[in-house]
Amino acid sequence: MKKKRPTWIPVVAGLIRRKDQFLLGFRPNEEPVPSVWEFPGGKIEPGESPEDALIRELDEELGITVEVGPLRLSVTHNYGDVGVIILFYDVIYWQGEPRAIYHEDLKWAGKKELKSLPLPEANKKVLHRIIATLP
């Protein structure tokens, strides 16, 4: 019998930094990852480059126009029977003031606060590496 291949979802997330803080969005209460503070971003559409996906997602979610920098880190995680691979990119420049178009709320959080907030499991795994990207 043919083995069922797992489903993988490619996701991009932006590391938007202001001084020693990151911009986070509070996810609406929707499965599979409800009510946590996440790094803004979303799924890469088929045929789209990761950078273009991040530009599109940050425009849709926050209403900002960004310049995407280098890929800083990546992580894989399983949510039930689907796996996500999340590519975290530096956002080196943005135009406009971020607004909570998709999220319930936005906040700037520094190292100490990040460690105490509810975050997606996939982010907790690499939190030390995310924090290491702060100046």
Determine, following the binding rule CB under 6 A, whether residue 38 of this chain makes contact with ligand DGT: yes
Q: Which of 62, 84, 114, 130 lies at the binding interface for ligand DGT (CB under 6 A)? A: 84
Q: Which of 15, 23, 66, 86 lies at the binding interface for ligand DGT (CB under 6 A)? A: 86
Q: Minimum distance from CB of 11 to ligand DGT (Å)?
A: 4
Q: 121 and 77 in contact (C-beta within 8 Å)?
A: yes
Distances from the Cα of 99 to the Cαs of 19, 25, 27, 45, 70, in angstroms?
19, 10, 14, 23, 24
Determine, following the binding rule CB under 6 A, whether residue 68 of this chain makes contact with ligand DGT: no
Toward ligand DGT, which CB reaches closer, 30 or 97?
30
Determine, following the binding rule CB under 6 A, whether residue 39 of this chain makes contact with ligand DGT: yes
Determine, following the binding rule CB under 6 A, whether residue 103 of this chain makes contact with ligand DGT: no
Cα–Cα distance for residue pair 105/50, rounded to 1 Å = 25
Sign of the CA dihedral with 78 first, then 79, 84, and 87 last: negative
